Amino acid sequence: MNRLFERLTAIYPDIDFLAGGIVLQDDSDGKGAYIKQWNSTLAQPTEAQLLAVALPSEQDIKKRAAIKTAIAAIESAYVAEKEAPITYAGHVFQADAASIELMTQVASALPAGAGIGWHDIENIEVPLTDVQFAELRGAILTRGQPLFKKRRSLKDAIRAATTVAEVETISW
């Protein structure tokens, strides 16, 4: 049967072929794949049930692949821009997720009016007041908002696209 694996996974999305018990085989005789063995608690679908499954067209499959690729590229660009180093007070500071987490921990323990030495990307200690430290952290966190909106908008456009060519025109 043509596309037997897809038909079975459409009927049973969580089917586990690796657990044993269900074996598909194609004897290369032009008849396509068939169920060689079905030792499962799931009811074995009939040929009529299998043939009744509406399979996606090749164009739909290509579009899904293009959507997956485009969204992965958008996510990668979003993270890269959101976590890119940031300039503050004439110094360049790291702004990746680990740095933000550390800054949040330090900010919660930093007494009002206290200063801190925070290292820039060149590992030079930069003296900052508590206000400056909060401004640096705020600048890092707030720059993510417009990037998040851009990411959301692009992902919406990707999902609204009707053809592979339209999907492929959408980029960061």
Domains of the chain by residue range: 4-52, 58-168
Arithmetic mean of pLDDT over the chain: 94
Q: Tell me whether strands 86-88 and 33-38 are parallel, antiparallel or unpaired.
A: unpaired
**DSSP symbols for 19-59:** GSSEEEEE-SSSS-EEEEEE-SSSPPPPHHHHHHS-PPPHH
Q: What is the maximum span of the chain, computed from C-alpha positions, in angstroms?
A: 81
Q: Has residue 20 got a pLDDT over 80?
A: no
Domain topology for 4-52 = Phenylalanyl-tRNA Synthetase; Chain B, domain 1 (3.30.56)
pLDDT in tens, 86-105: 999 999 999 999 999 999 99
pLDDT classification of 136: cutoffs 50, 70, 90:
very high
Residue 137 has which token pair?
């952290």
Strands 115-119 and 125-129 come out as antiparallel
Question: Tens of pLDDT along 139-162?
Answer: 999 999 999 999 999 999 999 999
Cα–Cα distance between 100 and 104 in angstroms, integer?
6
Q: What is the pLDDT of residue 21?
A: 86
pTM: 0.67
